[in-house]
Structure 1
Amino acid sequence: MDTVTDNHLDFEAAYARLKDVVKHTPLEYNRGLSEKYECEIYLKREDLQIVRSYKLRGAYNMISRLTDEQMSRGVVCASAGNHAQGVAFSCKKLGTKGVIFMPEITPKQKVKQTEMFGAGNVELVLTGDTFDDCLREALIYTEANGMTFIPPFDNEQIIEGQGTVGVEILDDLLDVEVVIMPVGGGGLAAGAGTYLKQNKPGIILIGVEPDGAPSMMTALKDGSPVTLGTIDRFVDGAAVKRVGEKTFLLCKEVLDDMLTVPEGKVCTTILKLYNEDAIVVEPAGALSVTALDALKDQIKGKKVVCVISGGNNDIDRMQEIKEKSLLYEGLKHYFIVRFPQRPGALKLFVNSVLSPGDDITRFEFIKKNSKENGPALVGIELKYAEDYPALLHRMEEHRFEVIELNRDQTLFEYLV
């Protein structure tokens, strides 16, 4: 195994350092998921951590080990969310100053949470339109002021701190056979994965990324970290363009499998966990549970842990989450409908094309001067996904010209 694994990571020492600061989060048996997948499924509830994510572990582990001189100068980080809150809490707890750079587009809820956890010990700097812009400014500031930069994942002390999730899993369920973990930059999977493999060599470790940001999957295929050109930032807690160098080496060594899941399916999981288990998860926190369908044959009859990595989900995102879920499940469809130039066409569409279970969720004429016979943007929600072919057949039967926007990504993004 790589020397990073052998010589530098002391997870037990990190656990001792953190045990009076972070919560030992619950490992909860989930009856519904267990019955569905015919195995024993436990959820590692890092959404119940003090800052509602595991990121506190790595941040505190690193900051607590700084020298007195480094502490007097203060620390800097760049983050749009969970890492910022972990650093802010650590600064308050350890009595050092923190300067936290966040993109200007960061939701107000995350800004307020970071300020609350810092409680006067942190200064927030909102700068840049993207995380990369924000990171660049943070590194310049760190150098200019002789401070210590606290990276989000690619640091041995950060990895070591995140690895304490693995320590707790084995403490609570020694005979665990499979652990499924979300992967963004790779800190959690590298840390917890290394500890679990060192102490239970036969365990199966599986990493999960969103389809739109497959940075670890790409790195593993190419043999080294790769900077992705563009990514889908929806699963913001796991959407990075490039994984860490250190985290990649460890993940390559310890992960038995790596897979990606669609963002829409992640949204369905978020809604199910909320409606069925009253668990509020952020998109990255839902990745491990979302992967269960793809792994059902592999996990049958086994003891499985899904790491719920965080619960910082802004309520303002719930409508978007519901929409993405409906689109993924085939329950919501958008069309451009060109109504025939004959009397009663709109009435015919409502009465004869739509079935009793269909619901119009959006309707607007595209040309304001051609109402009643011009093209319209129509959103329809179905009761069952299998009703869709019949809906298309009725449109054709009644001579309505339609463009299926769900099948045309460019038009969909422009109009919907």
Structure 2
Amino acid sequence: MTATHVSDHEYLKKILLAPVYDVAVASELSYMSLLSAELGNEIFLKREDQQPVKSFKLRGAYNRICSLSEKQLQAGVIGASAGNHAQGLAYSAKMKGIQATIVMPETTPDIKVDAVRRFGGENVNVVLHGTSFDQASNHAKALCKTHGYTFVPPFDDPDVIAGQGTVARELLEQNPNLDILFIAVGGGGLAAGIAVYLKQLKPSIKIVAVESEESACFIKAKAQGEPTELESVGIFADGVAVKIMGQETFRLCNRLVDETITVTNDEICGAIKDIFDDTRVIAEPAGALSVAAIRKYAKQHDLNGKKLGGILCGANINFHTLRYVSERCELGEQKEAVFAVKIPETKGAFKQFCECVGAKAITEFNYRYASESEAHIFVGVKLKGGQQEFAALQGDLESKGYDCVNLTDNELAKLHVRHMVGGRPPTILNEQVFSFEFPERPGALLNFLNTLGEQWNITLFHYRNHGAAEGLVLAGFDIAPESRDDFNQHVAELGYKVEEVTDNPAYRFFLSQPA
């Protein structure tokens, strides 16, 4: 039976008969009292972090394995994943007593590789191959043909979709009165499974699909009328970092999901903090998407007194990622703003500026002498009234003669420049600045530098490990006009994702030579 032949009624039957509770638990639906009070709505969170593998992926993987014949079980299964699907498949294979091969990219953080081996034990063979999910997936499919394994896909399969749909079965029993349900979408398996169940039993419930702004493959698929590959995806919310959603998941979501919404990395970080404040659980970025959307959607639509639900779909976070989250969460909640200001380089000017800021709590302050006439500062302030409060502060500063630039939504400023304020070249250079992404593994930074070569002098460099699968670098080069074409060709041959940011205002304000 192919995916396109599965009717809604057949999905309902599959979900009701799915044997997922051999391995999974009926996760709690927690009331978020703090966030509910703040937003004026009743907010409930489905706690899939309570699964043995800390994500919902166990449901779909186990349900798929249970659908296999004895011959297929004896031959073993294979899958490709850098995260939660790998752990769900490993745990399922161990519980069923079968052999599983799991192909993971070489760039996968050790914490995830170790977790797969721990969950699978002697039943699992981990193969590290390639530097991306696509390379790992292609290798898994090649091994599948060679050895006769059965491939267990992460989302685009009726039995996987039905397994994920058991979340909706519990949800409807725990609270049948939800007005709106928010569901994170990567490949679409969770949203498809939940939607095909709920829309048959409670069609009045509104389902909102939530995507990261950096990996909105469902929105692109809707615009094109079919799953269409994104050119690139963001690296922060790796659990939903999917370039193209599945054919069957798109068929279901396109028909059954009512709305879509995207959220930024800062909004995701704010949601991780919201979840922690209410539950003391640290969600992974993808696991916090639904809460990020609840906060955003409730404010956009001025909701009040509604019952809103979200899915905490995973809590497998790399600990080092918390550094990034802690820096960005209050920006996401609009409780902090960062901005740049030029002030006169005169005695007492620094104090006068602080007096203008008034009693607001300053969260960050970087000062640098720029010339005999002016200084540049990078400032963070805590807000109680959101961006409207900052707009009032900015207007007040400008009325007093300060040149003030809001950098709250400037990614380059928040990721790199805030750590580099004041670094200007002492002599005139043909400086051009670029942001790079490269695979993160031991020795990756040195390999990156070696690959860049020594043809052009590096004039600026900033790198910070955020515990993700890719490293992020800001680099400047002294490029003579006559050698720019050669440089462009060299960079194109490197194979890294690269973007020129020479004209970015954060760079111009703090790091470039004066005009």
Residue-by-residue CA offset, 1:202-258 (whole Å, 9 max, x unaligned): 332221112222111221232211111122232221221111100000111211222
Q: 2:338 aligns with which of 333, 339, 346?
A: 333
Q: Closer, same or farther in 2 for the Cα pair 1:409/1:192, shift >3 Å?
A: closer
Counterpart of 2:380 in structure 1 is 380
Counterpart of 2:186 in structure 1 is 184
Give me the TM-score of the superposition, normalised by structure 2.
0.70
Supply the distance in 2 between the matched residues of 1:136 and 1:275 (Cα, whole angstroms): 41
**Structure 2: which 5+ runs fail to align?**
419-515
Q: 2:212 aligns with which of 200, 210, 213?
A: 210
Residue-by-residue CA offset, 1:51-91 (whole Å, 9 max, x unaligned): 11110000000112222222222222111211111001001
Query: Aligned letter for 1:137?
Result: H
Percent identity, aligned pairs only, is 34
Cα drift, residue 392 of structure 1: 8.2
Cα drift, residue 159 of structure 1: 0.4
Q: 2:114 aligns with which of 112, 115, 119?
A: 112
Counterpart of 1:311 in structure 2 is 315
Q: Closer, same or farther in 2 for the Cα pair 1:274/1:167, shift >3 Å?
A: same
Structure 2 residue matching 1:109: 3-state secondary structure: helix
Matches within 5 A, 1:136-175: 136-175=138-177
Counterpart of 1:83 in structure 2 is 85
Supply the distance in 2 between the matched residues of 1:408 and 1:22 (Cα, whole angstroms): 42
Supply the distance in 2 between the matched residues of 1:373 and 1:135 (Cα, whole angstroms): 58
1:323 and 2:332 matched: no
Supply the distance in 2 between the matched residues of 1:121 and 1:190 (Cα, whole angstroms): 30
Matches within 5 A, 1:6-405: 6=8, 8-12=10-14, 15-293=17-295, 294-295=297-298, 297=301, 300-328=304-332, 329=334, 331-333=336-338, 335=340, 355=358, 357-359=360-362, 361=364, 363=366, 378=378, 380-382=380-382, 386-387=389-390, 390=393
Q: Closer, same or farther in 2 for the Cα pair 1:264/1:98, shift >3 Å?
A: same
Query: Aligned letter for 1:380?
Result: G
The answer to which structure, 1 or 2, has the higher relative contact order (CA under 8 A, 6+ apart) is 1
Query: Aligned letter for 1:225?
Result: P
Supply the distance in 1 between the matched residues of 2:172 and 2:413 (Cα, whole angstroms): 50
Query: Aligned letter for 2:222?
Result: L
Structure 2 residue matching 1:106: 3-state secondary structure: coil
Supply the distance in 1 between the matched residues of 2:244 and 2:36 (Cα, whole angstroms): 34
Query: Aligned letter for 1:333?
Result: V
Supply the distance in 1 between the matched residues of 2:256 and 2:378 (Cα, whole angstroms): 49
Residue-by-residue CA offset, 1:308-341 (whole Å, 9 max, x unaligned): 2122222221120122223342624264x77866
Residue-by-residue CA offset, 1:108-161 (whole Å, 9 max, x unaligned): 222222221112221222332222222222222222222121111001110011
State whether residues 31 and 41 of structure 1, in contact with CA within 8 Å, keep that contact through their aligned partners in structure 2: yes
**Structure 1: which 5+ runs fail to align?**
none
Residue-by-residue CA offset, 1:12-37 (whole Å, 9 max, x unaligned): 56644122321011123333444445
State whether residues 90 and 124 of structure 2, in contact with CA within 8 Å, keep that contact through their aligned partners in structure 1: yes
Q: Closer, same or farther in 2 for the Cα pair 1:404/1:197, shift >3 Å?
A: closer
Q: Closer, same or farther in 2 for the Cα pair 1:166/1:47, shift >3 Å?
A: same
State whether residues 365 and 371 of structure 1, in contact with CA within 8 Å, keep that contact through their aligned partners in structure 2: no
Q: Closer, same or farther in 2 for the Cα pair 1:321/1:349, shift >3 Å?
A: farther
Q: Closer, same or farther in 2 for the Cα pair 1:393/1:201, shift >3 Å?
A: closer
Structure 2 residue matching 1:19: 3-state secondary structure: helix
Query: Aligned letter for 1:327?
Result: L
Q: Which is further off, 52-61 or 164-173?
A: 164-173
State whether residues 18 and 162 of structure 2, in contact with CA within 8 Å, keep that contact through their aligned partners in structure 1: no
Q: Closer, same or farther in 2 for the Cα pair 1:365/1:48, shift >3 Å?
A: same
Q: Closer, same or farther in 2 for the Cα pair 1:404/1:69, shift >3 Å?
A: same
Cα drift, residue 186 of structure 1: 0.6
State whether residues 11 and 163 of structure 1, in contact with CA within 8 Å, keep that contact through their aligned partners in structure 2: no
Structure 2 residue matching 1:205: 3-state secondary structure: strand
Supply the distance in 2 between the matched residues of 1:414 and 1:38 (Cα, whole angstroms): 36
Supply the distance in 1 between the matched residues of 2:76 and 2:376 (Cα, whole angstroms): 57
Residue-by-residue CA offset, 1:266-318 (whole Å, 9 max, x unaligned): 21111122123323222222222222241465864444432221222222211
